[in-house]
Amino acid sequence: MYTMKQTVKLCSKMILQLVRGFQTSTVYKAAESSLLAKLRKKTGYTISNCKKALEMHNNDTDKAETWLNEQAQAMGWAKATKLAGRKTAQGLIAVKFDKKHGALVELNCETDFVAKNDKFRKMIEDATLACYKFAHTHLKAQGPITKMELDTEQLGSLTADGKKLSEILALFIGTVGENAVLRRAECWKANSDDVKITAYTHPAPASLGDYSTGKYGALMAYRQANDHEDIGRQLCQHIVGCSPSKIGNKEKDTPAKNTDDETCLIYQEYLLDPSFTVQEVLEENKVEVIDYVRFSCGEAEEESLPGVEKQPLDTVQTLQ
């Protein structure tokens, strides 16, 4: 028989063990919850999938993330095949450029909601950077500018962070469960010292830089005398806004009777000051527009874009 003192001591010990067990369990569950929240925030996958991944890999978040990505990519390939026929008219146009190189990329999806997704924006940024690097390293010099149009398959073969863009896209599709397409891209390189490249997207970002996205975008190559303020980006803005079908030639082309119907760049009213035509602005600022290309997100696909070279990637000489 226990004395009263021993009984109290024994009860106290049991209570202490229960409290410690409860505290340990609470701390462990809190740690698990923290890992789950961290993995969910980092990957964007569902809570149930993140929990399963952590359980399978003993709460190793790195291994869990790798497993989730592999599963998402595998599902992405399957979903990409299944959803391939679904219309992808939404998305974004992106540009990245310096004075001698430019990239213009279109990434499409099914809904505008997905187009606003951070992962979607990261996807098009990766694709645009890959095209921009391609313009630096894979375009041989021929004429004042070298241009290359990339289709879906060619775009998918480019790499970002050691992975093909097609693989990154499959991972994205597996994550959002919606069809997405790397539709097309333009890679440009200026070959003469007096030729410059500029770009523009609309809606324009609050702060203009060398990378931007929008629903419309354009690349433009031009020459301008050094003793004048550079108006390349403003002219590119006009091209995005007014969608001319060609530059035009004063010797061969005549203005449209109705200025609202004008599709020849040089005869259009200048977007930033309609009291002047583009030709008058070019002459005043000593600018020559050499070429341009304009993308509108989701527009009807054309067989080829005027003046744009299209060829297999493996036939282009690499500049080392």
Mind listing the pLDDT tens digit for each residue in 4-39?
A: 555 555 556 655 565 455 444 444 455 567 888 888
Q: Would you tell me how many other CB atoms lie within 10 Å of the CB of residue 115?
A: 20
pLDDT of residue 257: 93
pLDDT of residue 23: 47
Q: Decide if 133 contacts 187 (C-beta within 8 A).
A: no
Average pLDDT rounded to a whole number, residues 120-145: 94
When mean pLDDT is compared across 68-77, 280-289, 298-307, the lowest value belongs to 298-307
Average pLDDT rounded to a whole number, residues 72-85: 65
pLDDT of residue 187: 97
Highest mean pLDDT among 23-32, 47-56, 82-91, 197-206: 197-206
End-to-end, the C-alpha distance of the chain in Å comes to 92
Average pLDDT, the chain: 84
pLDDT of residue 48: 80
Q: Return the bridge partners of 188, or none.
A: 102, 147
pLDDT tens figures, 53-67: 888 888 888 998 888
246: Cβ–Cβ under 8 A, 6 or more apart, which residues? 253, 263, 264, 265, 306
* Cis peptide leading into residue 203 (ω within 30°): yes
pLDDT of residue 86: 79
Of the candidates 242, 246, 229, the one whose C-alpha atom is nearest the C-alpha of residue 281 is 229
Average pLDDT rounded to a whole number, residues 196-209: 94
Percent of the chain exceeding pLDDT 90 equals 57
pLDDT of residue 29: 52
Q: Give the tokens for residue 153.
A: 């398959």
Average pLDDT rounded to a whole number, residues 86-103: 95
Q: How far apart are the C-alpha atoms of 253 and 250, rounded to whole Å?
A: 6
* Domains of the chain with CATH codes: 90-297 (3.30.479.20)
pLDDT tens figures, 138-172: 998 888 999 999 999 999 999 999 999 998 998 88
H or E element, residue 212: strand 211-214
pLDDT of residue 28: 44
Q: In this model, does residue 305 exceed pLDDT 70?
A: no
- The label of the residue with tokens 């990957």 reads 43
pLDDT of residue 7: 59
Query: Measuring CA to CA, how many Å separate 183 from each of 32, 93, 127?
Result: 41, 10, 11
Q: In this model, does residue 238 exceed pLDDT 80?
A: yes
pLDDT of residue 273: 97
- The label of the residue with tokens 């095209």 reads 131
pLDDT of residue 304: 46
pLDDT of residue 314: 44
Q: Where are the alpha helices (DSSP H) in 138-260?
A: 152-157, 165-176, 232-242
pLDDT of residue 311: 47
Q: How far apart are the C-alpha atoms of 120 and 129, rounded to whole Å?
A: 14
When mean pLDDT is compared across 37-51, 94-108, 162-176, the lowest value belongs to 37-51
Whole-model pTM: value is 0.75
pLDDT tens figures, 264-290: 999 999 999 999 999 999 999 999 999
pLDDT of residue 75: 67
